[in-house]
Structure 1
Amino acid sequence: MADKDLKFPQLFLRLTISVTMLSAVADRFGFWGENSAWGNWENFEKYTQQLTFFLPEILSTFSAYTATFLEILFPLMLIFGFKTKIAAFGAGFLLLVFALSMSIALGIKAPLDYSVWVGSAAAFLLAIQKEYYFSIDTLIKKS
């Protein structure tokens, strides 16, 4: 498959990783209503404490804020194709940490049910692309 044949699948991958991560953020702020996993920030903090049981409470709370910030930053970077390689590696590592934490705290079934491993692998696959089509990166490179 020629690189030019990857344009739309690559864009689709960027967008799906982004929308999936932003959906999780929307959930913790209650935007999904009755279809929420957490439904509000308080429940998300409790869930984060469950996943980071090995950390002091203050660090667990800090990790909830940090994860949320990064789950907004990386998807926005991916959507616009700005510093795409960095954003993809960041998303991959963030999802990997999340998958490992879920596996340790909840068992292997939880991250499998939510496709967290797949999201991490997809982000790493995106990170190793030679060129990023339909992106700010490409526009900057051409100018």
Structure 2
Amino acid sequence: MKINQKRIKDLAGLYLRLMLGFTLLSAVADRFGLWGAPGAEGVAWGNWENFVTYTYQLNAFAGGAMAPVLATIVTGLEILFGTTLILGYKTRWTALGTAALILLFALAMTYALGIKAPLDYSVFVDSAAALLLAGIAHYRWSIDERLQLKKSQTSI
């Protein structure tokens, strides 16, 4: 049986886009209580206040007043990046932004909690996966692909 490398690359790109996107949106859903209340099984924060407290824990060097600001910025970026990754729009730039955002999170976790926490939660792996996604030449089954097709048809 011959392995179709193009099909594997297409599927891997789609899989990376979807899983990174849903991972970002799942974290956002958790901080708004959509996965359950604080303390429920599988719930990291359960509400906005707990997320802001966690943001301060990871970024105490920035000062307590910055925690709500950082939490809001990160949440906005996660919603933007998660949605655009799932849709496959501006995928290369979104993947680069996602890689940087997750790397900053991993470094903050390392600084505040030690290296074991980001390793246990595969945060560095998520950042590397987003960087790998940015390096894919063509994003099959995406808005980017549709726009590229439309552009090539109008330039003929």
Q: Same fold (TM over 0.5)?
A: yes
Normalized against structure 2, the TM-score is what? 0.88
In the alignment, which of 121, 134, 138 is matched to residue 131 of structure 1? 138
**Alignment pair present for 1:29 and 2:36:** no
Q: How does 1:96-115 map to 2 (within 5 A)?
A: 96-115=103-122
Cα RMSD between the aligned structures? Answer: 1.2
**Alignment pair present for 1:67 and 2:74:** yes
CA displacement at 1:117 relative to structure 2: 0.6
* Paired position in structure 2 for 1:11: 14
**Residues 25 and 82, structure 2, Cα contact 8 Å, conserved in 1:** yes
**Residues 53 and 67, structure 2, Cα contact 8 Å, conserved in 1:** no
Q: Secondary structure at the match of 1:57?
A: coil
* Paired position in structure 1 for 2:63: 56
Name the % identity: 51
CA displacement at 1:15 relative to structure 2: 0.6
Unpaired runs of at least 5, structure 1: none
Q: Which runs of 4+ in 1 moved over 6 A?
A: none
Q: Secondary structure at the match of 2:139?
A: coil
Separation in 2, partners of 1:98, 1:114? 11
Q: Secondary structure at the match of 1:134?
A: coil
Separation in 1, partners of 2:87, 2:127? 19
Normalized against structure 1, the TM-score is what? 0.95
CA displacement at 1:6 relative to structure 2: 1.0
Separation in 2, partners of 1:60, 1:42? 10
Which has the greater radius of gyration? 2
* Paired position in structure 1 for 2:153: none
**Residues 88 and 144, structure 2, Cα contact 8 Å, conserved in 1:** yes
